Amino acid sequence: MIQLVKGTKDIMGAEVKLWQDIEKRMRTICETFGIGEIRTPAFEFTELFVRGVGETTDIVQKEMYTFTDDGNRSLTLRPEGTAGVARAYIEHGMHNQAQPTKLYYISPTFRCENTQAGRQRQFHQFGVEILGSYSAAQDAESISVATALLDEMGIEGVELRINSLGCPDCRAEYNRTLKEFIGANLDKLCPTCKERFEKNPLRVLDCKETGCQAIIANAPSVLDCLDEECTAHFQKVQDILTEMEIPFTVDPKIVRGLDYYTRTVFEFVANGLTVCGGGRYDKLIEECGGKPTGAVGFGLGIERLVMILERQNGAIVNEPKRDIYIGSMGQAGHIKAQGMTLALRKQGILADCDTVERGVKAQMKYANKIGARYSAIIGDGELESGIISLKEMESGEKEDVSLTDFVAIVAEKCK
């Protein structure tokens, strides 16, 4: 038997209902915030992610699913959503529309990572990208979308942590300071961090090794390296969040996993799991070949959201509910039942009938199993008399209904 690939999952049964509910809320919230949907392809030219995510990131260095197509071009399955949206923004000249451009997506995302709790190789991200504004107001608005969703889902104990990495000048200044500090402790760092130290010292702050964590704890704060403008920008983000009554803590250790972030970065942590991460990326559009464009966004992991909800609310149970089951006996009855079932379905009634040729007793057992509110059985007798008995399953009460009015009467009762 061929099994599913490690790090992937079938989403089904009761869980899929929860997914549908989550997705519906995401779409409703985006509509409220004036954010339109975008569906970009699942794969792009590898170069887009190398440039857009950053050569020194874990994603590009070891987590991408990359393959060569028949034209010998290197393609990569989307490891995150922002680069594809940035490409589409440029490609379709969206900067010509009234700004900002506000987009969201709900898409499968692929990373070749070691699988563990909360870490899959195919997972799903709800992402929001707002392009065409440098203002702190846009950072706060973007954060408020994620907050609205987590609030509405009733996630308890979520913590919002924010930081600013400053503009490229501040970042360069901080990189120098950090390099000095790390250089003095280099022998105590893990092998990966020794490499990171050369190419991108900021990444060391993101290391999950306990040894590195201990060193990083005393590292200088990026906030001390911010210039006046970047400090004011970060302060404004905080002022708006406070006005919006969105609680947060400033954590100067947050750098996030992607290279393109400038100024504000943030994450939402619940139950020790990072459920959402995002930030401002003012250089990305230029990096991908567009005009300089301020932008901010986030990615929220749906599997992690589901995990937190299950931990919080227990396993999901799904009680089936159908309006009516139309049982049947004999060839003519079968045919009539299926016709009436479709007539009801066209009116939005959750109707079912026999399609596996069960006996009548087994059909009624099945009607119970699917949680049908009403049932009826149609056979030669009913066809002849033109009268059919409609039964309310819970009370057992029966009512004679004319066959010609059956669909209209059932539709009326079930609406």
Binding residues vs Mg ion (CB under 5 A):
257
Binding partner of 388, given ligand ATP, Mg ion, none, CB within 5-8 angstroms per partner class = none
The tokens 């065409």 sit on which residue? 132
Q: Provide the minimum distance between the beta carbon of 374 and ligand ATP in the complex, in angstroms, as a whole number.
A: 43
The tokens 């408020």 sit on which residue? 144
One of 125, 142, 164, 293 touching ligand ATP (CB under 6 A): 125
Binding partner of 119, given ligand ATP, Mg ion, none, CB within 5-8 angstroms per partner class = ligand ATP
Binding mask 16-35 for ligand ATP (x = CB under 6 A): --------------------
One of 78, 111, 280, 373 touching ligand ATP (CB under 6 A): 111
Whether residue 253 contacts residue 206, with contact meaning beta carbons closer than 8 Å, is answered with no
Q: Provide the minimum distance between the beta carbon of 2 and ligand ATP in the complex, in angstroms, as a whole number.
A: 23
Report the phi/psi class of residue 386: left, alpha or beta, with left for phi > 0 and alpha for psi in -120 to 50.
left
Mapped to the 3 state alphabet, what secondary structure does 287-339 carry?
HCCCCCCCEEEEEEEHHHHHHHHHHHHCCCCCCCCEEEEEEECHHHHHHHHHH
Q: Provide the minimum distance between the beta carbon of 303 and ligand ATP in the complex, in angstroms, as a whole number.
A: 5
The nearer residue to ligand ATP, 84 or 301, going by C-beta atoms, is 301
257 sits near ligand ATP (criterion: CB under 6 A): yes
Site for ligand ATP in 227-256 (CB under 6 A): 256
The nearer residue to ligand ATP, 59 or 170, going by C-beta atoms, is 59
Residue 308 CA to residue 225 CA, distance in Å, equals: 36
Question: Which residues, in sequence order, are CB contacts of 353 under 8 Å at separation 6+?
Answer: 325, 326, 327, 328, 337, 338, 340, 341
Q: Provide the minimum distance between the beta carbon of 12 and ligand ATP in the complex, in angstroms, as a whole number.
A: 18
Q: Provide the minimum distance between the beta carbon of 393 and ligand ATP in the complex, in angstroms, as a whole number.
A: 42
The nearer residue to ligand ATP, 104 or 374, going by C-beta atoms, is 104
Q: Where are the alpha helices (DSSP H) in 153-254?
A: 168-183, 191-199, 210-216, 228-243
Q: Provide the minimum distance between the beta carbon of 27 and ligand ATP in the complex, in angstroms, as a whole number.
A: 19
**390 secondary structure, DSSP code:** E
One of 9, 25, 95, 119 touching ligand ATP (CB under 6 A): 119
The tokens 């004036």 sit on which residue? 34
Report the DSSP beta bridge partners of residue 324. Answer: 351, 374
Site for ligand ATP in 277-316 (CB under 6 A): 277, 299, 301, 303-304
Pairing type for strands 273-280 and 295-301 reads antiparallel
Q: Provide the minimum distance between the beta carbon of 304 and ligand ATP in the complex, in angstroms, as a whole number.
A: 4
Whether residue 138 contacts residue 30, with contact meaning beta carbons closer than 8 Å, is answered with no
Segment near ligand ATP (CB under 6 A), from 14-22, 111-119, 356-364, 394-402?
111-119
Site for ligand ATP in 66-85 (CB under 6 A): 80
Segment near ligand ATP (CB under 6 A), from 88-96, 117-125, 188-196, 331-339?
117-125
- Burial class, 332, CB count within 10 angstroms (exposed 0-12 / middle 13-18 / buried 19+): middle
Q: Provide the minimum distance between the beta carbon of 119 and Mg ion in the complex, in angstroms, as a whole number.
A: 8
Strand ranges inside 38-117, DSSP E: 43-45, 66-68, 74-77, 101-110
Closest residue to ligand ATP, judged by C-beta, is: 301
Q: Provide the minimum distance between the beta carbon of 379 and ligand ATP in the complex, in angstroms, as a whole number.
A: 53
Residue 30 CA to residue 102 CA, distance in Å, equals: 9
| Token code pair at residue 414 | 């079930």
Report the DSSP beta bridge partners of residue 388. Answer: 401
120 sits near ligand ATP (criterion: CB under 6 A): yes
One of 130, 275, 288, 329 touching ligand ATP (CB under 6 A): 275
The nearer residue to Mg ion, 256 or 322, going by C-beta atoms, is 256
Q: 3-state DSSP: the chain helix, strand, coil percent, rounded to 5?
A: 45, 25, 35
123 sits near ligand ATP (criterion: CB under 6 A): yes
The nearer residue to Mg ion, 203 or 280, going by C-beta atoms, is 203
54 sits near ligand ATP (criterion: CB under 6 A): no
The nearer residue to Mg ion, 78 or 233, going by C-beta atoms, is 78
9 sits near ligand ATP (criterion: CB under 6 A): no
Question: Which residues, in sequence order, are CB contacts of 200 under 8 Å at separation 6+?
Answer: 54, 56, 259
Residues that bind ligand ATP (CB under 6 A): 80, 111, 113, 118-120, 123, 125, 256-257, 274-277, 299, 301, 303-304
